Structure 1
Amino acid sequence: QFRNQYDNDVTVWSPQGRIHQIEYAMEAVKQGSATVGLKSKTHAVLVALKRAQSELAAHQKKILYVDNHIGISIAGLTADARLLCNFMRQECLDSRFVFDRPLPVSRLVSLIGSKTQIPTQRYGRRPYGVGLLIAGYDDMGPHIFQTCPSANYFDCKAMSIGARSQSARTYLERHMTEFTDCNLNELVKHGLRALRETLPAEQDLTTKNVSIGIVGKDMEFTIYDDDDVAPFLEGLEERPQRKPAAPADEPAEKSEEPMEH
């Protein structure tokens, strides 16, 4: 009932102790296409679904390279993601030039947390409308981190964000115990199966709409796109036919805004 009264500004609390502007920014993440991150003992993998803005447009990039040992996948406003990605690249370079070592993943994520917190507390700013999954490998092993527009960040064993990502999270929760000892191919397959759960029944994963990022022990962060994805998709079994689905919780008509990917 208070929503209209207290949602005009990011510096105003509602009587329930909520900041509506931040919650709205987190909705932007739910509009972006889904992405999945998961890790084993040796590798961290990102799998993302690419959307084409129109029949004539190329598919939007979803996985971005940050440094030899770190990459990110995004859901939400692409422009905000690009800005954060440039910031992350700069921090990684600084670490290499100044300390002559790769930046630990947890350190980078805490820097992102500090940066994204600023617009949640300043008048006239808006929160970054993008969620990131950060995959990295350092002395502590592989990592998957999730960041939110609220400037929260979480260290995850596996995670999925974006539209219809709840289905992917359910898959990840069911199979979580298997990930630790998986080899790389199995891990990627789990990621693809989880991502496939977010698709409507009549759609499937193709080399055009999937992007994969892998980092791990003795392996620099590598992005696989288009034909490079084919070997991973080939080993994937047919999608089991679902019973007619209950109505999705997403609203039927999506806005035509071309900002989220």
Structure 2
Amino acid sequence: MFRNNYDNDSVTFSPQGRIFQVEYAAEAVKQGSVVVGLTSKTHAVLCAIKRNAEELSSYQKKLFAVDEHVGLAIAGLTSDARVLSNFMKQQCLSERLTYDRAMPLELLVSLIGDKAQLNTQHYGRRPYGVGLLVAGVDETGPHLFEFQPSGLTQEMLACAIGARSQMARTYLEKNLDQFAACGRDELIHHGLRALKETLVQDRELTLENTSVGVVGLKELGKKALEPFKVHDGPDVKDWINSVADEAEAETSAEGGEGEGEGGEGMQVDE
């Protein structure tokens, strides 16, 4: 795309004050498959749709464990995501070695934000073409953070990034008030429902293309940690089936209402 040579590097502003390299990186996030994150009082959940480049290839991994108390989901360039996830792992290991404690979530996300923003200040570098949802638990409870290629990081109650993510955001906004009181399985159920909203008509959630990551507290008010774990394949079967069964029930209920209305109309005509 021709931008009058204002997009050759990430340190040159256009006359309108835009950095096109950052915008291109954000576009890479929009082209990635969708990931959804949401939190309750006890758990943080990440749900992702995996893609395969062709029928003969395996599905691309979307969820990564960083430490026992934190994990992340990616949308965009996987190679850039691995650079950032490895950096986060190093920081967590350093924190445990130096201070014998888990890395504070807000500090960890701030560090990757600074690392990404640094690339927009030095000639010859480029922004990371990946967006992250970072879910974890600290002494105050579960948290969810969004990372953008510009270096912007912010805490979210629920979030979706990637292709067709606006449909998932709409579902999350409608049901946001319910999340705080949800248990682990119910929160996962909401995440998969939001994920399902983003699918085109001929696709469904399957064991091969769906991943779920969960971290949380075993009991509200207790500090017993439920470590971050990625669930793939048979582990997500029951959750996917429950979402499918609910969708079928809603469809049949709508059909029943339509028949009832038709029946009433016939009685009035008689």
TM-score normalised according to structure 1 size: 0.90
Q: AA paired with 1:233?
A: I
How far off its partner does 1:239 sit? 6.0
Give the whole-Å Cα distance in 2 for the aligned partners of 1:23 and 1:198.
23
Q: Find the residue that maps to 1:6 and give its secondary structure.
A: coil
1:45-60 equivalence runs, <5 A? 45-60=45-60
How far off its partner does 1:14 sit? 1.2
Give the whole-Å Cα distance in 2 for the aligned partners of 1:113 and 1:131.
11
Q: Which residue of structure 1 aligns with residue 261 of structure 2?
A: none
**Structure 1 alignment gaps of length 5 or more:** 243-261
Q: Which residue of structure 2 aligns with residue 160 of structure 1?
A: 160
Q: Which residue of structure 1 aligns with residue 241 of structure 2?
A: 234
Q: Find the residue that maps to 2:111 and give its secondary structure.
A: helix
1:123-179 Cα shifts (integer Å, max 9, x gaps) = 111100000000000112101100011000110000000000010001000100000
Give the whole-Å Cα distance in 2 for the aligned partners of 1:124 and 1:239.
53
Q: Which residue of structure 2 aligns with residue 255 of structure 1?
A: none
Q: Which residue of structure 2 aligns with residue 221 of structure 1?
A: 228
Which structure shows the higher helix fraction? 2
Give the whole-Å Cα distance in 1 for the aligned partners of 2:97 and 2:141.
23
Give the whole-Å Cα distance in 2 for the aligned partners of 1:222 and 1:21.
34
How far off its partner does 1:202 sit? 1.6
Q: AA paired with 1:49?
A: I
Q: Find the residue that maps to 2:191 and give its secondary structure.
A: helix
How far off its partner does 1:203 sit? 0.9
Give the whole-Å Cα distance in 1 for the aligned partners of 2:249 and 2:109.
37
Give the whole-Å Cα distance in 2 for the aligned partners of 1:185 and 1:205.
17
Give the whole-Å Cα distance in 1 for the aligned partners of 2:21 and 2:170.
28
Q: AA paired with 2:199?
A: L
Q: AA paired with 2:227?
A: E
* Ranges of 4+ aligned residues in structure 1 off by more than 4 Å: 239-242
**Structure 2 alignment gaps of length 5 or more:** 218-224, 252-270
Q: Which residue of structure 2 aligns with residue 125 of structure 1?
A: 125
Matched, 1:32 2:32: yes
TM-score normalised according to structure 2 size: 0.87
Q: AA paired with 2:236?
A: V
Q: Which residue of structure 2 aligns with residue 114 of structure 1?
A: 114
Q: Find the residue that maps to 2:160 and give its secondary structure.
A: strand
How far off its partner does 1:37 sit? 0.3
Give the whole-Å Cα distance in 2 for the aligned partners of 1:228 and 1:65.
17
| Aligned-pair identity (%) | 55
Q: Find the residue that maps to 2:112 and give its secondary structure.
A: helix
Could you say if the C-alpha distance between residues 239 and 15 of structure 1 is closer, same or farther in structure 2, counting changes exceeding 3 Å?
farther
Larger Rg: 2
Matched, 1:93 2:102: no
Give the whole-Å Cα distance in 2 for the aligned partners of 1:57 and 1:173.
35
The count of aligned residue pairs is 242
Question: More deviation in 143-152 or 228-237?
Answer: 228-237
How far off its partner does 1:9 sit? 1.8
How far off its partner does 1:16 sit? 1.4
